[in-house]
Chain A
């Protein structure tokens, strides 16, 4: 008898806890707001044409998403090729570092975007499909998922995605952002060397191109470095990187010019002085080589010893 009396109260309490939990959860979710400047500069609707749709098979949304963005950008690769390159059978899925690495293997540069809806929509408006990572479920029981955003409608507050087994699926900004926020709004575009996302800042761009250069070599990365210094003309590190790529592609004079530009913008960049000195020396310009190496040797840090050694050997 007693047990029966208690049970409704217990159920009520459980229901209350659940309800409270849900209210708290929904308290965090609302239609995401765009920055005023984005709102004004973006077209009301955008649609990236010619993104082929590949329906995922079991758990293979990673390879499917990669195939879509790579095919769109003219890379001729099938899902069958991508599956053994990026899928981890033991995890029933694909992990973020390998998604990026696989893009690099196919000659494109993956740029991870800023974690805002603004950055995502801006890329769509510039005609780049965007791979997004979502947790379609709750953090406690995750259901991780990759999809490809291909368009949006600001008036309807909707995003259009090739997702899972569904092409051109429409998701409200609110629902999409709730699921996307659980991956810390992880998204990337796969671009040809020479192209860059419009909103990217200098440091992530440097890292992305350097990573690409490591797998694809200096010559393949050359257009990307040129684009970087065009976007960030005062980037000392950017000119330094361009100099290295030119040097490795057999253009020492171009390299010297880039290293000079680099130290002109960043007089304290010891590593650029060092490479400038070494390249000048190899080119027979001893006086200027000595000056550059002396400058490198005078700057405290990693490269001081290398510069001193090189000076001694002149």
Chain B
């Protein structure tokens, strides 16, 4: 066992060294142009750190959407359609993002205030005030 290890270790080291050398010496294919999306996000500060965040964000968004009852079959395509920035925004504040259309609490005071603001033309809650 010990002899095996004695053989293996230098071999592994050699393989790793050679591996990394061949990677850095490989000719750069022309398809490795910098993409427009990368160039645009690099214009913002801390682009690299943000990118790591954004990779994490997508997982987070996926989890949150599933928790909010989104169909499992749909969730992946939905997350994929978001830009990095949108995914980040969703991950950070899905709870706070306004969602059309939420419901108004049914308190009487609220009802009266909204009725008055409706009549004043500030809101548009009740169809009969127009």
Partner-B contacts on A (CB < 8 A): 18, 22, 25-26, 29, 59, 61-62, 84-86, 88-98, 100-102, 104-105, 133-138, 141-146, 166, 171-172, 174-175, 178-179, 183, 206-207, 210-211, 213-215, 237, 240-241, 244-245, 247, 252, 271, 274-275, 278-279, 281-283, 302-303, 306, 309-310, 313
With contact pairs A88-B69, A247-B33, A302-B42 given, residues A96 and B125 touching in the complex (Cβ less than 8 Å) = no
A143 touches B104 (CB 8 A): yes
A142, B65: Cα distance in complex, Å = 22
A136 touches B124 (CB 8 A): yes
A105 touches B120 (CB 8 A): no
A210 touches B94 (CB 8 A): no
With contact pairs A90-B67, A143-B102 given, residues A271 and B94 touching in the complex (Cβ less than 8 Å) = no
A29, B86: Cα distance in complex, Å = 32
The 7 closest A-B pairs by CB, nearest first: A282-B30, A90-B68, A93-B99, A89-B69, A97-B86, A101-B81, A91-B99
0/1 string, B84-123, CB within 8 A of A gives 1: 0011011000100111111111000010011011001111
A143 touches B103 (CB 8 A): yes
A310 touches B28 (CB 8 A): yes
Chain B residues lying within 8 Å of A62, measured Cβ to Cβ, are 99-100
Determine the residue in chain B with the shortest Cβ distance to A141. Answer: B104
A171 touches B30 (CB 8 A): no
B123 touches A138 (CB 8 A): yes
A143, B118: Cα distance in complex, Å = 13
Q: Which of B39-97 contact A (CB under 8 A)?
A: 39-40, 42, 47, 65, 67-71, 73-74, 77-78, 80-83, 86-87, 89-90, 94, 97
Determine the residue in chain A with the shortest Cβ distance to B33. Answer: A275
B117 touches A138 (CB 8 A): yes
B30 touches A278 (CB 8 A): yes
B30 touches A88 (CB 8 A): no
A183 touches B98 (CB 8 A): yes
Determine the residue in chain B with the shortest Cβ distance to A213. Answer: B36
Determine the residue in chain B with the shortest Cβ distance to A183. Answer: B98
Chain B residues lying within 8 Å of A214, measured Cβ to Cβ, are 37, 83
A102 touches B81 (CB 8 A): yes
For the complex with contacts A97-B90, A104-B81, A141-B104, 20 further pairs of A-B residues with Cβ separation under 8 Å are A26-B120, A29-B122, A85-B77, A85-B78, A88-B70, A90-B69, A93-B100, A95-B94, A100-B86, A102-B81, A105-B77, A136-B125, A137-B114, A141-B110, A142-B104, A178-B121, A214-B83, A245-B36, A271-B42, A281-B30
Determine the residue in chain A with the shortest Cβ distance to B65. Answer: A88
Chain A residues lying within 8 Å of B37, measured Cβ to Cβ, are 210-211, 213-214
B78 touches A101 (CB 8 A): yes
* 8 Å CB contact of B101 from A29, A85, A143: A143
In whole Å, how far is B82's beta carbon from the nearest beta carbon of chain A? 5
A22, B122: Cα distance in complex, Å = 10
B34 touches A271 (CB 8 A): yes
A264, B14: Cα distance in complex, Å = 48
* 8 Å CB contact of B81 from A215, A252, A303: A215
In whole Å, how far is B28's beta carbon from the nearest beta carbon of chain A? 6
A95, B33: Cα distance in complex, Å = 34
Contact sample, A vs B, 28 pairs, CB 8 Å cutoff = A22-B116, A29-B121, A62-B99, A85-B77, A88-B69, A91-B68, A92-B103, A93-B100, A95-B97, A98-B81, A101-B81, A138-B114, A138-B123, A142-B104, A144-B99, A171-B124, A178-B123, A211-B86, A215-B80, A240-B39, A244-B33, A244-B36, A278-B33, A282-B29, A283-B30, A302-B42, A313-B27, A313-B28
